[in-house]
Structure 1
């Protein structure tokens, strides 16, 4: 057992006195807890401190591990260039960890190095820790757009490498909570913000990381957080371990939530298999969803599963309803995993003989040919949810006032460029947001004049 403890801490730059210039006194509770938790870390005399930061190199499909002999950084971007932090990397640990990633087929490692200095989410925990501990080595690891399972498994790998190397190790999850707690805060208010922060606080207070994993993805997205994935990685580090945890403080006076928590490892506990329990619940929930699907969604799932398992197109089944076999319509097939988009492909006009053929084709495209995602793997199928949108014919509109994001999808056109967005999507609450997303998807700049079209859908689950 070489993982000795783990802590969760925030990283507001103003907590550094030379940056805050007095404003840091408004988060004195966080400062006091930060000092306490770093004294706690130092008490274990760790040889290696692993820090997960959301502000180092980040990629959609890859978790970056900093490499080399070490790195330095300063708070110059926050007006305090005289405050510097130096780190020495545990190169043996890093090499062993990256080899373990390769063995486990995890999309993580040393690739993608770009930053030449330490990021503030790494430096702030080190600034506090350096008051109480010297001569420790560091492993820095980022986050990605990959799902929570991958981050959890990276955490498990960290614990396994620490044990194999017999390295006395402490993990630091550096992350702020919701950035959307106040209307007059820097990022405004979102009702998901307080919900997210309450869920995190309860998870930490009860040392229950199953609750952490169970936070809905739309809540995370709406909250505008940056700590969820570092904390999920921390849960992986603590997988199957008996822990004694404590939430030291929580506050959010500036509209951003700051939580400080610590967890000491006291032994082994197979009941703390948080990810296994989460996946079991997701699998059971998805099975119920599959059993209640209408024939549109059922056909899409059948097409997806057939293609993923057999690498061939499903032949149109017998016995389908006339609405599927005798009508033509444009279709979009959407896939989600743990509430996050996993693929979505369709068309704005019919391309096949009937709706059934559209569904079969676009289910395959969504699971294997959406350029934003890797193809769906067979082991993911129990956790994929499927929906089918059947579109009405688009109609031109004269102004944004004719849009309703709950009722209408939108097409934004500028010459040969276009962007499309389906209606009634989580987190998209205004026509302005619809158009902004469509411009981005269609590579249409904000100053280009556009034509707008709207359409309705019948959504099948």
Structure 2
């Protein structure tokens, strides 16, 4: 059987003794599990390891695969350049995966040194690859790799890409294993890399349990907000890995789960024990049900934003009559409004007004939804085929008030900076902005105001309405 096994492996650099300097002993169960995986891989002796990482060079619209004879890198950014690695690339298998992906309209790009240099990016082995392979190489090193960096495509495309990997492996009769590199929630503790979130532990527990029970359909039905709020980097790696296993009966084993540093580290193996029908149809139905729930969202603010952009994309005309679900507040009050679009968890457009420019909140939503979809200069225009993959949110702004830096709180207050010529605004409670210093640095950059320029400061609260 060409696919010899698949694995979920975390990639915390601190787990390496050269980096951890003794701290790694706090995740000894994870170390023991990774050693067990390394021994298992040695026993299987694959000619190729397909590794899926979140930390290579990532593109928003295409899965990236390294197309060079080799790739190397080290852990200089973690203070230990002596931990280095060079891996030979299986270019034949890489090329076969690309060909089949093109045939099935799954977007992929081959990343070479010259290609990445056009983006001022150096081709280098990332820690999402290096750390798992460190534990493989302790026991076995006679292999080449296929290096894959996932993209924020929709869940079904990622799963389909996994099925393509299997077709390519089987077409070339490669003896291969597949590693999904990824950590789970980064929000398990206040002293972790991100602020604590109650969603973190819930996500980890739910996700690992579903993997243990091979309840693949239910993974694709998981609550979008739970996934988004968990702050993970392994979910998409696993979706591709699950696609690799499509059509096979699988025996799952959880080797360990730990999270003492505020990040969830899960180690699992998935062994093929037979064949079964494809789960693709059931997954498509689960995704369809999720989208139907989104369309039936009862919140009138996001419902109006979605209807506004949908109407414009389908007819080329703005929504003229207010739908019956619009509330009195939306119809009669005037406020500044921001409409934000996210596709597969990534920002796809955001446009808003600090002060009202129309006669009502409803009209502000209608206008800004179209603006966010078509006229945010950071993104190409949304097309109607994307709409079901996009989550809408609407922020209704409260009255801005003068503030000092010690009165700011990036979770609860948005911020406006301005001087005689420039102005910038940043909404509150944005992913990855956890401190006042980060908030001010970003909003000043948006405004084009230098740190040493004089400026005034205001804060404001928002009421956020969201589909997730």
TM bucket, shorter chain = 0.7 to 0.9
For 2:14 and 2:432, locate their aligned partners in 1 and report how far apart those are by CA, in whole Å: 30
Q: 1:317 maps to which residue?
A: 321
Q: Offset at 1:139?
A: 0.5
The equivalences for 1:184-199 within 5 A come to 184-185=191-192, 189-199=196-206
Q: 2:87 maps to which residue?
A: 87
Q: In structure 2, do the counterparts of structure 1 residues 21 and 377 end up closer, same or farther at CA, with 3 Å as the change threshold?
A: same
For 2:25 and 2:397, locate their aligned partners in 1 and report how far apart those are by CA, in whole Å: 55
Q: In structure 2, do the counterparts of structure 1 residues 451 and 159 end up closer, same or farther at CA, with 3 Å as the change threshold?
A: farther
Q: Offset at 1:197?
A: 2.7
Q: 2:31 maps to which residue?
A: 31
For 1:160 and 1:23, locate their aligned partners in 2 and report how far apart those are by CA, in whole Å: 42
User: Which of residues 280, 294, 308 in structure 2 aligns to 1:286?
Assistant: 294
Contact 2:152 2:346 in 1 (8 A): no
User: What is the TM-score with the length of structure 1 in the denominator?
Assistant: 0.82
Q: Offset at 1:400?
A: 4.8
Q: Offset at 1:342?
A: 3.7
For 2:206 and 2:212, locate their aligned partners in 1 and report how far apart those are by CA, in whole Å: 10
For 2:451 and 2:60, locate their aligned partners in 1 and report how far apart those are by CA, in whole Å: 25
Q: 1:418 maps to which residue?
A: 423
Q: Offset at 1:9?
A: 0.7
For 2:424 and 2:208, locate their aligned partners in 1 and report how far apart those are by CA, in whole Å: 39
Q: 2:443 maps to which residue?
A: 438
1:450 partnered with 2:434? no
User: What is the TM-score with the length of structure 2 in the denominator?
Assistant: 0.81
Q: 1:142 maps to which residue?
A: 149
User: Which of residues 159, 172, 178 in structure 2 aligns to 1:165?
Assistant: 172
1:245 partnered with 2:265? no
User: Which of residues 155, 161, 165 in structure 2 aligns to 1:154?
Assistant: 161
The equivalences for 1:18-417 within 5 A come to 18-75=18-75, 77-78=77-78, 80-111=80-111, 113=116, 114-185=121-192, 189-216=196-223, 218-220=225-227, 222-270=229-277, 272-273=279-280, 275-289=283-297, 292-294=298-300, 297-310=302-315, 312-314=316-318, 316-317=320-321, 330-337=336-343, 341-352=347-358, 358-391=364-397, 394-400=399-405, 409-417=414-422
Q: Offset at 1:212?
A: 4.2
Q: In structure 2, do the counterparts of structure 1 residues 407 and 80 end up closer, same or farther at CA, with 3 Å as the change threshold?
A: closer
Q: Residue 65 of structure 1: SS of its match in structure 2?
A: strand
For 1:80 and 1:184, locate their aligned partners in 2 and report how far apart those are by CA, in whole Å: 24
Q: Residue 66 of structure 2: SS of its match in structure 1?
A: coil
For 1:18 and 1:409, locate their aligned partners in 2 and report how far apart those are by CA, in whole Å: 41
For 2:226 and 2:323, locate their aligned partners in 1 and report how far apart those are by CA, in whole Å: 40
Q: Residue 419 of structure 1: SS of its match in structure 2?
A: strand
For 1:188 and 1:323, locate their aligned partners in 2 and report how far apart those are by CA, in whole Å: 34
Q: Offset at 1:285?
A: 1.0
Q: Offset at 1:170?
A: 1.5
For 1:82 and 1:434, locate their aligned partners in 2 and report how far apart those are by CA, in whole Å: 36
Q: After superposition, what is the alpha-carbon deviation per residue over 1:66-94, rounded to whole angstroms, capped at 9, x for unaligned? A: 11111233445555555543311111111
For 1:92 and 1:183, locate their aligned partners in 2 and report how far apart those are by CA, in whole Å: 46
Q: Offset at 1:247?
A: 0.5
Contact 1:196 1:215 in 2 (8 A): no
Contact 2:311 2:319 in 1 (8 A): no
Q: Point out the more displaced range, 2-11 or 330-339.
A: 330-339
Q: 1:7 maps to which residue?
A: 7
Contact 1:282 1:383 in 2 (8 A): no
Q: Offset at 1:50?
A: 0.7
Q: In structure 2, do the counterparts of structure 1 residues 446 and 221 end up closer, same or farther at CA, with 3 Å as the change threshold?
A: farther
For 1:441 and 1:105, locate their aligned partners in 2 and report how far apart those are by CA, in whole Å: 37
